[in-house]
Structure 1
Amino acid sequence: MTDPYADQSASLTSPASGAFAIEPHDANALPLTTRALYVGIGGDLVVEMQWGAVVSFANVPDGALLPVRVDKVLAATTAASIVGLV
């Protein structure tokens, strides 16, 4: 398939070009730092940000798209069906 944008540089405001399922875990880092997280089933989301701070997002609704760059989604997370967008 031809990509009319192949010669354009990707930036953080560009659409995601890849995605992966996330299983929350305290020790395992994500395979890539995200540009955003999609939360399929809402709840609390506890993440380690790219620069190392641990942040809790309370009551994230179903279907939320959070533009956050994270390295880990921690086990204290109650949200589910989380997808990392890169």
Structure 2
Amino acid sequence: MSDRFASHTPSLTGPASGGFPITPDDTMALPETTRALYVGGGGSLAVEMASGAVLTFEGVADGMLLPLRVSRVRASGTTASGIIGLV
């Protein structure tokens, strides 16, 4: 399959080109910092941002795409499910 954008440099304003499932964990960092999070099942989402700030997003809806640079999704405070890190 051809990829007309293969020679373009990835940027934070472009679409994600990869992803990985996230299991919330209070101590383990993600394998890489995300450019966005997809939340399949809504709820609360407790994260550690790339800056180190710890935030909890309440009332995240099912199917939400959040443009967040996150290094960790914490188990404590997270009720959302089906979380995917996009890179």
TM range (shorter): over 0.9
After TM superposition, what 4+ stretches of structure 1 lie above 3 angstroms from structure 2? none
Q: Gaps spanning 5+ residues in structure 2: where?
A: none
Distance in 1 (alpha carbons) for counterparts of 2:26 and 2:50: 15
**1:79 counterpart letter in structure 2:** A
Query: What are the Cα deviations for residues 25-45 of structure 1, in whole angstroms up to 9, with x where unaligned?
Result: 011100010000000000000
Distance in 1 (alpha carbons) for counterparts of 2:63 and 2:34: 17
Q: In the alignment, what sits opposite 1:27?
A: 27
Output the aligned Cα RMSD.
Answer: 0.5
Distance in 2 (alpha carbons) for counterparts of 1:8 and 1:28: 32
Q: TM-score under structure 1 normalisation?
A: 0.98
Distance in 2 (alpha carbons) for counterparts of 1:7 and 1:41: 35
Query: Identity over aligned residues, as a percent?
Result: 60
Q: Gaps spanning 5+ residues in structure 1: where?
A: none
**1:84 counterpart letter in structure 2:** G
**1:28 counterpart letter in structure 2:** M
Q: How many aligned positions are there?
A: 86
Q: In the alignment, what sits opposite 1:82?
A: 83
SS of the residue corresponding to residue 44 of structure 2 reads: strand
